[in-house]
Amino acid sequence: MTDLPLNERNALKDSFILTELEKARVEVSQDGTVKHLWCLSDGEFIESVLIPTRKRLTLCISSQAGCAMGCTFCATGWGGFQRQLTTGEIVSQYSASRRWAEHHLGTTISNIVYMGMGEPLSNRKAVHDSLSILNQGYAVGARRITVSTVGVVPGILELAERPEQFRLALSLHAPISELRLSLIPLEKRHPLPEVLSALKRFNQSGGKRITFEYTMIRGVNDALELIAPLVELARSVEAYVNLIPFNPIPYQNWEPSEHHRIKNFAEILNKQGVPAAIRETRGRDIDAACGQLKARALVQLERPREPED
Ligand code: SAH
Ligand code: SF4
């Protein structure tokens, strides 16, 4: 920026860091999904995933290295929490992935979902700033950006206050508290009724859309009796329901619900006036599917041994 006086350039240099993510690995799935493993400046690792479909190119970004929430069905949760990401590290996943996509796929990113590693609403300052930069700086429309949360109520309320129409996904996974508690430890701190009233505020704050994410685990949360309470919840906040077949993870032996059961859920929900869709699993062969991101474990298994003293 040679149009600035030297002392201002120096002041900028002293006050800001230009974060560049170091690409540690790129894997491309048979279905076209692309997983980037990034190495951060302190040696932590995170992942982000590009998901091409016919009409869109969606980028799934991480908001934390690891996650402290410990949800029982999620590989990131099993790996524990390493640290918060900075605003720069969140935004750089977008700028670096976009560069990669434009170069290798000849197309740009149309949608962003905060569904990679970590709980975005537990890293609120950096996530809010990254939302502003992506929306205002990079001109990604607010309705094309979705923040996914497991139910951090103060974070939902803050997002409701923002004037932009960012979308919110609630990882619901069970429509009744007792069952939800067995999957999501946060249910104890923020039980469903409290989450629901925060969602109502969000829903009433002007043209904002809510999606429920419901990962279907065979014999765990796919009983037909759960459909009625799910319908009631979805109707109360006009939510769209995404049914996600459970992606197996190494730490326990659960399986996805059978396809006909997932279809059954979707059909009944739709018949009862709740828009629902089955989210096709992408990138399972490279461990890039929902809940399978575990950069740290992956790297620890495969990192060459340090020479011993
Ligand atoms: N922490 C946030 C965002 C990251 S998780 C959240 O929980 O919402 C992104 C999505 O993947 C969430 O809906 C999560 O519940 C889902 N998920 C986690 N593990 C999964 C698994 N093994 N199979 C399918 N979906 C999973
Ligand atoms: Fe964290 Fe989301 Fe995984 Fe739960 S599902 S452990 S909140 S990343």
Q: Which helix (H) or strand (E) holds 8?
A: helix 6-15
Strand boundaries in the chain, DSSP class E: 22-28, 34-39, 45-52, 57-60, 64-66, 81-84, 111-114, 145-149, 167-171, 210-216, 240-245, 276-278
Position 165 scores a pLDDT of 96
Position 297 scores a pLDDT of 52
Task: From 171, 173, 181, 217, give the residue whose CB has the most ligand 2 atoms within 8 Å, as the site to mutate.
Answer: 171
Position 249 scores a pLDDT of 87
39 assigned to active site: no
How far the first Cα of the chain sits from its last, in Å, is 47
Position 296 scores a pLDDT of 56
* Tally of domains in the chain: 1
- Residue 57 covered by a domain: yes
Residue of 47, 43, 41 lying closest to 19 (CA atoms) = 41
Nearest CA to ligand 1 atom 8: 149
- Residue 305 covered by a domain: no
- Residue 42 covered by a domain: yes
- Residue 52 covered by a domain: yes
- Residue 190 covered by a domain: yes
Which CATH number characterizes residue 114's domain?
A: 3.20.20.70
Are the C-beta atoms of residues 230 and 214 closer than 8 Å to each other? yes
Active site residue: 47, 119, 187, 213, which one?
47
Helical segments of 162-294, H only = 177-183, 192-203, 227-236, 259-271
Query: pLDDT 10s digit of each residue in the chain, 309 long?
Result: 889 999 999 998 888 877 678 887 899 999 999 999 999 989 899 999 999 998 999 999 999 999 999 999 998 988 899 999 999 999 999 999 999 999 999 999 999 999 999 999 999 999 999 999 999 999 999 999 999 999 999 999 999 999 999 999 999 999 999 999 999 999 999 999 999 999 999 999 987 899 999 999 999 999 999 999 999 999 999 999 999 999 988 877 899 999 999 999 999 999 999 999 999 888 878 777 776 777 655 444 444 344 444
Q: Residue 124, CB half-sphere, CA atoms under 13 Å: how many?
A: 11
Position 19 scores a pLDDT of 65
- Give the Cα separation of 151 and 113 in Å (integer): 16
Q: Give the rounded distance of the alpha carbon of 136 from its chain centre.
A: 21
Task: From 76, 195, 215, give the residue whose CB has the most ligand 2 atoms within 8 Å, as the site to mutate.
Answer: 76
Protein residues with CB under 6 Å of any ligand 1 atom = 73-74, 115, 119, 148-150, 171, 213, 215, 244, 246-247, 249, 290-291
Domain residues for 46?
A: 19-298
Distance (angstroms) between ligand 1 centre and the Cα of 65 equals 15
290 assigned to active site: yes
Distance (angstroms) between ligand 2 centre and the Cα of 68 equals 8
Position 182 scores a pLDDT of 96
- Residue 159 covered by a domain: yes
Shortest-distance atom of ligand 1 to CA 246: 23
Reported pTM: 0.92
Position 20 scores a pLDDT of 74
- Residue 6 covered by a domain: no
- Residue 46 covered by a domain: yes
